[in-house]
Amino acid sequence: MAKRTLNLALATGVLALGISTAGSAGGIASASMLANTCTGCHGRDGNSLGPASPSIAQMEKTAFIEAMQAFKSGKTYGTIMDRIAKGYTDEEIERMADYFAARRFVPAKQEFDATKAGKGARLHDKYCEKCHENGGRPITGEDAEYYLLAGQWLPYLENTIADFRAGRREIPKKMKKKLDKLIKKEGEAGLAAINAFYADQR
């Protein structure tokens, strides 16, 4: 399964680079054309159908642009996105950001531990709500500090937090402080409960 996922990601990357280049050479590629290059991993209209990739539908525009630019520059670790992002111009990234921000987010249909999710709701309010408002659901506005967590695939959430903890991704100081407090007081079970809470959101 991992090999299949990687092959699909590589194929999507080649497609993305090819369409982006074609758009630059023969005219301006439409936002939907650019967005279609993301379908293989992130699903139609940005709603992922597999646990390895996050859904990006309804992602706040600024957050999308910052994420793509971080992959493009190498600031953010990626198994394939760092190479894919290099195939897009800043203008193309902005058009894609507008496109996905206008899509409707559909939470992943997945199993989760309801008991853990109940505990996770309380821990989210204590450790995460200040930055990940509204239970990690989509929020809008120019000043929104937004990263969609509610309804994302559980394995994606687990893998991403593992990247932060291992130093493969730069962790914001506020997040590290809160995460350290959570782990010290609640242990790994507390982190698992918060992830279950996000998986539970509809």
Q: Are 154 and 196 in contact (CB under 8 A)?
A: yes
DSSP 8-state secondary structure symbol assigned to residue 31 = H
* CB 75, CB 30: distance < 8 Å: no
35 vs 97: CA distance, rounded Å: 9
What pLDDT does 70 receive?
Answer: 93
Instruction: Please check whether the two domains, 2-101 and 114-200, share a CATH topology.
Output: yes
Task: Provide the residue ranges of all domains of the chain, joining segments of one domain with +.
Answer: 2-101, 114-200
Please give the structure tokens belonging to residue 86.
């290099």
Model pTM above 0.95: no
Tokens of 124: 């989210």
Of 18 and 160, the structure prediction assigns the larger pLDDT to: 160
Q: What is the pLDDT of residue 17?
A: 42
Q: Which CATH superfamily is domain 2-101 in?
A: Cytochrome c-like domain (1.10.760.10)
CATH fold for the domain made of 114-200: Cytochrome Bc1 Complex; Chain D, domain 2 (1.10.760)
Say yes or no to pLDDT of 18 above 80. Answer: no
Q: Which amino acid is at 155?
A: P
